[in-house]
Amino acid sequence: MKILAIDSTAVVASCAVCEDERLLASFTLNNGNTHSENLLPMIESALNLLKLTPDDIDLFALSEGPGSFTGVRIGAATVKGLAFGKNKPCIGVSTLEALAYNLIGFDGIFCPVMNARRNQVYNALFECHGGNLQRLTPDRAISVEELEEELAKYSMPVYLTGDGDFLMLESKTKKSDYAFTPEPLRYQNGYSVAFCALSKFHAGDIKNDLALNPTYLRPSQAERTRNEQNKGEN
């Protein structure tokens, strides 16, 4: 099964083409939120180098959020466009779970953290032993202080991954010493998205392009502003 997987939920954009669990091609770009310009050319380059077209793809995989509202929408629109009319399975996976899969070779507590602004992070906690990943919490938006309190309870090594790691490492109220996470494992990775999607496919959790929807976890800034204005008018 050939899989095309993308992640554009944060500053990094990544795409990968896989044959089941075997990585065939991977592109990652870390130059700011330019996904509307760069994501599709990255995908086209990967497919062209493999002499493939979107018609050759058997499964389209997407990191559906949480993350940047714009980035999440760009990723969803890109996959919907590539899969449109092909009647191929499309699977969205949690950005946080895919980040946790980056660390699958380690044992301990995996703590993906994405900068959600306003002193919050998007987060979920996972425990891993011998390559077996177990989810401990749902995806959530949580304050840095609350997450620090929760992590302080664990005696196992805690690995941070994601673009919000600096909020935890530089926090003045830091309560834990975190294990070292190599730089390449801190960023969104198309292969991890493909791996998560393949697991969901084998579990029968399959959608089509029409049913693929972004996950935001909380309202956008524009929605928050509108809600605050509406409250003031009432």
13 and 88, same structural domain?
yes
Identify the domain containing residue 127 by its residue range: 105-186
Could you tell me the pLDDT band of residue 79, with boundaries at 50, 70 and 90? very high
pLDDT of residue 233: 53
Structure-block tokens of residue 203:
């579990």
Could you tell me the pLDDT band of residue 31, with boundaries at 50, 70 and 90? confident
Q: Are 21 and 195 in contact (CB under 8 A)?
A: yes
Least confident range from 144-148, 205-209, 215-219: namely 215-219
pLDDT of residue 217: 85
180 and 192, same structural domain?
no
**48 Cβ partners below 8 Å, 6+ apart?**
none
Q: Is residue 87 part of a domain?
A: yes
How many structural domains comprise the chain? 2
Q: What is the mean pLDDT of the chain?
A: 92
Q: Are 49 and 40 in contact (CB under 8 A)?
A: no
pLDDT of residue 224: 44
Apex CA 170: angle with CA 147 and CA 139, to 5°? Answer: 30
Q: Give CA–CA dist 144/142, Å, rounded.
A: 7
Q: What is the pTM of this model?
A: 0.91
**E strand segments, 81-212:** 90-94, 108-115, 120-123, 126-129, 132-135, 140-143, 158-161
12 and 83, same structural domain?
yes
Q: Is residue 120 part of a domain?
A: yes
89 and 63, same structural domain?
yes
44 and 120, same structural domain?
no
pLDDT tens, residue by residue, 121-159: 999 999 999 999 999 999 999 999 999 999 999 999 999
CATH number at 84 reads 3.30.420.40
56 and 115, same structural domain?
no
127 and 21, same structural domain?
no
Q: What is the DSSP string of 69-101?
A: HHHHHHHHHHHHHHHTTS---EEEEEHHHHHHH
Structure-block tokens of residue 144:
């840095």
80 and 50, same structural domain?
yes
The answer to whether residue 229 scores a pLDDT higher than 80 is no
pLDDT tens, residue by residue, 173-204: 888 889 999 999 999 999 999 999 999 999 99
The answer to whether residue 222 scores a pLDDT higher than 50 is no
Q: Are 158 and 100 in contact (CB under 8 A)?
A: no
The answer to whether residue 219 scores a pLDDT higher than 70 is no
217 and 158, same structural domain?
no
The mean per-residue pLDDT over the stretch 17-34 comes to 93
Q: Is residue 234 part of a domain?
A: no
132 and 87, same structural domain?
no
pLDDT of residue 232: 53
The answer to whether residue 226 scores a pLDDT higher than 70 is no
More confident site: 182 or 217: 182
163 and 62, same structural domain?
no
pLDDT of residue 127: 98
pLDDT of residue 175: 80
168 and 111, same structural domain?
yes
Q: Are 80 and 72 in contact (CB under 8 A)?
A: no
Q: Is residue 174 part of a domain?
A: yes
Could you tell me the pLDDT band of residue 234, with boundaries at 50, 70 and 90? low
